[in-house]
Amino acid sequence: MRQKLLAVTAISLLASAAANAQAKLVEKVTRQGSELVIPYEKYVLPNGLTVIVHEDHSDPVVHVDVTYHVGSAREEIGKSGFAHFFEHMMFQGSDNVADEQHFKIVTESGGTLNGTTNTDRTNYFETVPSNQLEKMLWLEADRMGFLLDAVTQKKFEIQRETVKNERGQRVDNSPYGLLSEVMAKNMYPYGHPYSWLTIGYIEDLNRVNVNDLKNFFLRWYGPNNATLTIGGDVTSKQALALVDKYFGSIPRGPKVENMKPMVPVLPTHRFASYTDNYARLPMLVKTYPSAPSYHQDQAALACLAQILGQGNNSVLYQQLVKKQLALNAGAFASPQELSGSFIFQIIPFPGKPLSEMYYLLNNALDSFEKRGVTDDDIAKFKGGYESQMINGLQSVSGKVSQLAAFNTFTGNPNMIGKLMKMYQAVTKEDVMRVYNKYIKLKHCVTVSVLPKGADEKMLVAKDNFTIDTTGYTPPHYGYDGLKYVKAKDKFDRTKMPGNGPNPVVKVPAFWKKDLNGGIKVIGTENTELPTVTLSIKIPGGHLLESNDMSKAGLASFFTDLMNDDTKNYTAEAMSRELQKLGSSVSVFSGNEDITFQVQTQKKNLDATLALLEERMFNPKFTPEAFERFKKQNLESFRMAKTQPTSIAENVFAKINYGNNHILGISGDGNEETVKNITLADIQAYYDNNMTSQGTDVVVVGDITEAEILPKLAFLSKLPNKAVTIPAIAAVPAVDKTKIYLVDVPKAAQSEFRVGYVTGMKYDATGEYYKSGLMNYNLGGAFNSRLNLNLREDKGWTYGASSYFSGGKQTGEFQFGAGIRANATDSALIEVMKEINGYTEKGITDEELAFMKNAIGQRDALRYETGFQKAGFIGNILEYNLPADYVDQQSKIVANMSKAEIDALAKKWLNSGKMNVLVVGDKAKILPGLQKLGYEIIELDSDGKPVEKKAF
């Protein structure tokens, strides 16, 4: 069904909806004109629950979102992290849903799910085949109205550990992870709702008890503080009947008043600093208070941020990065419900003090004032925003999320057209007005982030602000006397609803065409949005470098420069033209190809393809750009050596493949190999490897075969010559399991990698595909054995998973997780126990049924967006798959037996012959690992042995 971009008609009614005697229809919005709109009907139940229904019958999919207007801003000093903590607890079962069953039920229904928390709201959402709608509403209602008796002390303790691990992974164990926390404390007054992070402080998480958490739920999680949004292949009549059944009897909660904006006023410049254990380079962050979300200045501030610090036309890029005065520099406008921030971030090259960056930033702002705002600035901003808004409507989840957010924060789901008008109305005068209002001569907070061991002379200035904790009075949120009252029903909630009739899933129809020179084209028409996505894959990439591994990373470096200047456009001019069109043209490398990726609105397709042709056939490899990218790449390698996750990925590849194998080196190369690359090598790559033979073109969007083929005629200019991808070297089998250890002192977590090179190539219907099915219950699903053990039962990790990966020449098996440091040895014992248990005792009948249901029903979600359709047909072309391979996969899943799963597990999962890598604090974890009986070999962050003697 084609979605025309038409105007809004809003009908406010006080009468009851015909479909439901209790839900009042407040508003109905339909398409009647030419403006952008998401059609919906809005209802309110007697208990205060707001219900929004959006009908879209283009795919047999529904998305359910429950957004509660509560985030960390409803917390108080000493009790931070409650909102996020409760997000975790909402997945731990309720009266009628057993522990660890929420994820299982949704996954087994062929769906996906998650929850997120920020300062101002918490949301829970599921995307499922449309026949599973009733089950999803039953689940969401059960945890809204029947949760607290299922919140046990044991669950509470486990999820507290999980949240602490999440904080360790995202904040404490991450470069610059503490920056937002330091900024918030210094930006906002003591007790301000934004003066702490959503994830909270460890000491607060340690202090909280289960009754505190229950009171938080009773105060904020009532239906009158929630918006339930349902979108997709559903009717309002159907949805409202189910909503009334499952939600209508849930009692209203305490009254919730919206909070008023609380934008801080800074009387002076504030300077703060901290030392970061994981950052290799210092960072300067300068933040100004600005307007909250949906403020009249929001659009102009977003435009100002783009002009000052986003993209290669920005002031900061031109003044600092292009001149190689800074490694990275950007500006961002971040509006939130109560206040906004306008942020500058600068990372200098090694040795440069942050005071120099502060000076350069001020100079750049002076140059902006002289330069002013241009017509091109405004045209770029408007073109990009229009495309961003339209592309956000590709999926039902995207539309539902917008409706839910608009209603939660403004009370009006129909904001998309108003926002579009606001952004399209921005003028040059508006941008300068907000610059003068929020930035020029205004006080701000400047944070200096220093690497471990850095001299204090690197600071912009010494800390000059002391947080005033006097006079703080905790807000009276009304926690006293709260009572848990359950709904009384006339039906049995203990019975989980069954499935509706199975939806008809239509695999995208596609066409294929062979062009001259060996070019193959595949396409599918998708008329839901007026957009076109185009992908051109040319043979090449990382594996070509196996002929000379001393220059590994050449293909990636080549694509850096292919994204820069051309003979007729500077990089800045190219970006400017693309942004005005709201289009993108990017070039990137893979293992066996170089890809040109295009995204555009149909109306701008011809102009965008002309720019693609320029980029593809008229590159200009300048010495200045070459040196700039080389310097940036070398610094990025050095920075990666301070990040445990990056260390784990790079070192594990070297362990698996060895020092003399191309796949033992990152596709970006490393510090040693990139130093060897010359400008002549870049030119030679272009001259020798651009080819039509073996080139694949994928087209998805609002365009027919007859329309697109003439527009691809420029590809005939590709040289018709053979480019052969070398066969990769064989990898020796792992003789026995060993532990490889990389020391990262003071690491809060240990990064785990366990696995080996299987040699198993990708296939869609053979042993590779079946091995993926075999792994699903071991480590592929949220309810897999590994994740339930390490996360849900032990609370040692934020997440653990395993998977098989495969390409055209080889493949791997890998387990990965970030594990709490003091549980490192115990976690390894459990990982091996789960692998051994799976191979020795096999899959259970219940697990087999779960896998078949989950995999067998998820096809409804696989072809919704343009990118999903492109991935599907692109796979057909790249691997020469039969048109009915999805049907073949469905039959494989349906017929998969326990014996076949068990045989595959025994064949591919031998815990005695796997590589184990642990990246963490050696002082903390080595004694425990030594007790496990494995040989232990210490490596440095490059994967080189630290000493010959093993532990």
* Domains of the chain in sequence order: 8-247 (3.30.830.10), 270-458 (3.30.830.10), 511-717 (3.30.830.10), 738-939 (3.30.830.10)
pLDDT at 419: 94
Identify residue 675 by its one-letter amino acid code.
Answer: K
| Token duo for residue 329 | 């520099």
Residue range 160-171: mean pLDDT, rounded = 87
User: What confidence score (pLDDT) does residue 507 get?
Assistant: 86
Q: What is the pLDDT of residue 866?
A: 84
The span from the CA of 349 to the CA of 334, in Å, is 26
Calculate the dihedral angle through the C-alpha atoms of 742, 745, 751, 755, rounding to the nearest 10 degrees. Answer: 10
Span 832-848, average pLDDT:
97
Dihedral angle at the C-alpha atoms of 453, 650, 838, 891, nearest 10 degrees?
140
Q: Which of 164-168, 222-226, 672-676 has the lowest mean pLDDT?
A: 164-168
Contact by Cβ (8 Å): 241, 19: yes
- Given a contact cutoff of 8 angstroms between Cβ atoms, the answer to whether 541 and 654 are in contact is no
Structure tokens at 174: 């991450």
Element (H, E) at 903: helix 898-908
Q: What is the pLDDT of residues 45-87, one digit of tens each?
A: 999 999 999 999 989 999 999 999 999 999 999 999 989 998 8
| CB within 8 Å of 757: residues ≥ 6 apart | 656, 657, 731, 810, 811, 812
Closest CA to 102 of 121, 83, 115: 115
- Once rounded to an integer, what is the mean pLDDT over residues 392-419? 94
Judged by DSSP in three states, 340 sits in strand
What confidence score (pLDDT) does residue 471 get?
83
Angstrom CA distances, 190 to 259, 384, 467, 470, 472, stand at 17, 38, 7, 9, 7
| E strand segments, 75-225 | 112-117, 122-129
Helix (H, G, I), strand (E, B) or coil at 534: strand
User: What is the reported pLDDT for 18?
Assistant: 35
> What integer pLDDT is reported at residue 209 of this predicted model?
86
Cβ 236 vs Cβ 55: under 8 Å? yes
pLDDT at 168: 84
Collapsing DSSP to helix, strand or coil, 552 comes out as: coil
Taking 50 as the threshold, does the pLDDT of residue 459 lie above it? Answer: yes
Sheet arrangement for strand 584-589: 511-515, 519-525, 696-701, 531-539, 593-601, 584-589
Phi-psi region of 669 (alpha: psi -120 to 50; beta: other; left: phi over 0): left
What's the CA gap between 698 and 875, in Å, rounded? 10
Give dist(CA 278, CA 298) in Å, integer.
34
Averaged pLDDT for residues 273-286: 93
Specify whether the CB–CB gap between 403 and 40 falls below 8 A.
Answer: yes
593-621 mean pLDDT: 97
Q: For residues 317 and 328, give the distance between their C-alpha atoms in angstroms, rounded to a whole number.
A: 8
Question: Span 643-656, mean pLDDT?
Answer: 95
Q: What confidence tier does 20 reach under pLDDT thresholds 50, 70, 90?
A: very low
Mean pLDDT of the chain: 93
| Mean pLDDT of the 301-325 span | 96
CA distances from 223 to 237, 376, 517, 881 (A): 20, 47, 62, 49
Report the pLDDT averaged over residues 770-786.
97
pLDDT of residue 1: 31
Q: Which two tokens stand for residue 628?
A: 């700039």
How many angstroms separate the first and last alpha carbons of the chain?
65
> Between β-strands 40-44 and 61-68, what pairing exists: parallel, antiparallel or unpaired?
unpaired
Q: Is 395 helix (H, G, I), strand (E, B) or coil?
A: coil
CB 553 within 8 A of CB 677: yes
- Give the per-residue pLDDT at 948: 62
**Alpha-carbon span 786 to 756, nearest angstrom:** 18
Mean pLDDT score, 669-675:
96
Residues 6+ apart with CB under 8 A from 251: 47, 145, 222, 485, 486, 487
Are the C-beta atoms of residues 452 and 260 closer than 8 Å to each other? no
pLDDT band at 15 (very low <50, low <70, confident <90, very high): very low
CA distance 905 to 899: 10
pLDDT of residue 659: 87
Pairing of strands 122-129, 61-68: antiparallel
pLDDT of residue 949: 54
- At residue 145, the pLDDT reads 96
Q: How far apart are CA 180 and CA 485, in angstroms?
A: 39
Running DSSP on this structure, what letter comes out for residue 119?
S
CA distance 778 to 814: 12
Region 290-310: what's the mean pLDDT? 97
Share of the chain residues as helix, strand and coil, in percent rounded to the nearest 5: 45, 20, 35
Residue that is written with structure tokens 């609105």 in the block: 601
Q: How far is CA 239 from CA 23, 131, 151, 235, 419, in A?
A: 11, 12, 29, 6, 28
Q: On the CB side of 571, how many CA atoms lie within 13 Å of its CA? A: 20
**Has residue 11 got a pLDDT over 80?**
no
Whether the predicted pLDDT of 9 surpasses 60: no
950: pLDDT confidence band, cut at 50, 70 and 90?
A: low
Between strands 584-589 and 749-757, the pairing is: unpaired
Q: pLDDT for 138-157, tens place per residue?
A: 999 999 999 999 998 888 88
Which residue would you say has higher pLDDT here, 640 or 770? 770
Alpha carbons 27 and 3: distance in angstroms, whole number:
21
Among 501, 494, 615, 493, CA closest to 560: 615
8 Å CB contact between 865 and 792: no
Q: Taking the mean position of all CA atoms in its chain, how far away is CA 688?
A: 36
pLDDT of the residue at 951: 54
Q: Are 820 and 132 in contact (CB under 8 A)?
A: no
Please give the distance of CA 263 from its chain centroid, rounded to a whole number.
29
| Angle subtended by helix axes 605-617 and 571-581, to nearest 10 | 160
CA 589, 591, 593, 596 dihedral sign is negative
> In sequence order, which residues have a C-beta less than 8 Å from that of residue 719 and are 6 or more positions away?
690, 691, 692
User: Which band of pLDDT confidence, cut at 50, 70 and 90, is reported for residue 13?
Assistant: very low
Q: CB under 8 Å, gap of 24 or more: what pairs does 172-176 form?
A: 172/748, 173/278, 173/644, 173/747, 173/748, 173/749, 173/818, 174/278, 174/643, 175/276, 175/278, 175/279, 175/280, 175/639, 175/642, 175/643, 176/276, 176/278, 176/279, 176/283, 176/449
C-alpha dist (Å) from residue 483 to 215, 220, 253, 652: 9, 13, 10, 53
**Amino acid symbol at 645:** T
Please state, in angstroms and as integers, the Cα–Cα distance from residue 702 to each residue in 1, 529, 601, 611, 731, following that order: 12, 7, 9, 20, 45
pLDDT tens digits for range 510-555: 999 999 999 999 999 988 889 999 999 999 999 999 989 999 999 9
- Reduce the DSSP state of residue 200 to 3 states and report it: coil
3-state secondary structure of 30: strand
- CB distance 909 to 838 below 8 Å: yes
